[in-house]
């Protein structure tokens, strides 16, 4: 186990970003079509092909999931991933037509200091293609990378986070998240993370909770009253699940946002969780096992959010938010 979503067998992760643009794309490619659904709990979501993931819709499997910067412009990234997969002969076939099924979601990172004057054609299709081309098993970087490159929180630089775990029944669970929260992952103005109770092996500093949490620390710290935020995540398991079960797992996994961010699911957040199953573990999934998978996903998402902030580096622009390590060291 390397404590990344790539611990889940049957998937790869790819990232691409542009430092001048201060934005990027992250994708998860599945070795074989995966079962997936989603849950949208934020008030300002942005996504592509989300409706087909509902359990009553006809398409049963997907080929990839995408997280992108760029707000609505970033929805082009899913087309870039589609283009790459089509070249590889991957997709949903209807006679002579081949259509890769690639849902995805976006964060708002248009006001972070990067050069967004891209002219007629936004760069996100190309970034999506590059992320898919870069997809690989094993270790990948966290923090200011991929879809987390331009992400921010209310008080610190955000970023790309990931974590993994195994359930008591032997299912592997992992998550990847772009942390671009309207609120804060940290308690008050200090170094401690709201996700501290779920931390494993000092993955985000090992500081635990502070001795006490004051009313001032509980005060909401909000980036903006405008819808310029969003935390978007993918949770995955090797379990063989139905679309209905994937929907329930996406709902349960959202608890991880509430454990790691204050506030979460706000009107100006577009919080979205995609849940997918690769189906490579043949162990039967009863309701108790499904509940354990959902709980592990929520815990992993909380941990991944903290890791995304902990591993981030600040953008090199005037008035850019500091990174956690800029303020608190290691």
Domain at 111, CATH number: 3.60.70.12
**150 CB burial (10 A radius; 0-12, 13-18, 19+):** buried
In total, how many domains does the chain have?
Answer: 1
For residue 245, tell me if it sits in a domain: yes
Reading the block at residue 140, the tokens are 């990948």
Task: Give this prediction's pTM.
Answer: 0.96
Left, alpha or beta for 124 (phi > 0: left; psi -120 to 50: alpha)? alpha
pLDDT in tens, 249-259: 999 999 999 99
For residue 151, tell me if it sits in a domain: yes
For 78, the domain range is 5-316
In 3D space, the residue among 56, 49, 108, 44 whose CA is nearest the CA of residue 272 turns out to be: 44
C-beta separation of 60 from 36 below 8 A: no
* DSSP structure class, residue 303: H
pLDDT in tens, 6-58: 999 999 999 999 999 999 999 999 999 999 999 999 888 999 999 999 999 99
For residue 328, tell me if it sits in a domain: no
């Amino acid at each position: 186990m390397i404590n990344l979503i790539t611990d889940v067998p049957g998937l790869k992760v790819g990232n691409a970003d542009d430092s001048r643009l201060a934005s990027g794309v992250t994708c998860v490619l599945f070795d074989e079509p995966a079962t997936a659904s989603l849950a949208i709990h934020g008030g300002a979501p942005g996504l592509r092909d989300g409706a087909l993931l509902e359990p009553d819709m006809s398409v049963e499997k997907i080929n990839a999931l995408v997280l992108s910067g760029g707000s609505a412009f970033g929805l082009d990234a899913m087309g870039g991933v589609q283009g790459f997969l089509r070249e590889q002969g991957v997709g949903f076939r209807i006679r002579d037509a081949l259509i890769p099924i690639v849902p995805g979601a976006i964060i708002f990172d248009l006001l972070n200091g990067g050069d967004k004057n891209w002219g007629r054609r936004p760069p996100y299709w190309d970034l999506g293609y590059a992320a898919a081309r870069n997809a690989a098993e094993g270790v990948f970087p966290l923090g200011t990378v991929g879809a987390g490159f331009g992400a921010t929180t209310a008080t610190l630089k955000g970023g790309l986070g990931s974590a993994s775990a195994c359930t008591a029944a032997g299912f592997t669970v992992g998550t990847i998240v772009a942390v671009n929260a309207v609120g804060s992952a940290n308690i008050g103005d200090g170094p401690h993370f709201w996700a501290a109770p779920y931390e494993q092996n000092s993955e985000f500093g090992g500081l635990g909770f502070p001795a006490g949490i004051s009313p001032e620390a509980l005060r909401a710290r909000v980036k903006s009253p405008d819808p310029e935020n969003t935390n978007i995540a993918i949770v995955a398991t090797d379990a063989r699940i139905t679309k209905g079960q994937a929907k329930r797992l996406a709902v349960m996994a959202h608890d991880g946002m509430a454990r790691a961010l204050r506030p979460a699911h706000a009107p100006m957040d577009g919080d979205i969780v995609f849940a997918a199953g690769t189906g490579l573990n043949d162990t039967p999934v009863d309701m108790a096992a499904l509940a354990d998978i959902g709980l592990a996903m929520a815990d992993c998402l909380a941990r991944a959010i903290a890791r995304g902030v902990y591993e981030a580096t600040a953008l090199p622009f005037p008035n850019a938010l500091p990174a956690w390590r800029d303020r608190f060291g290691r």
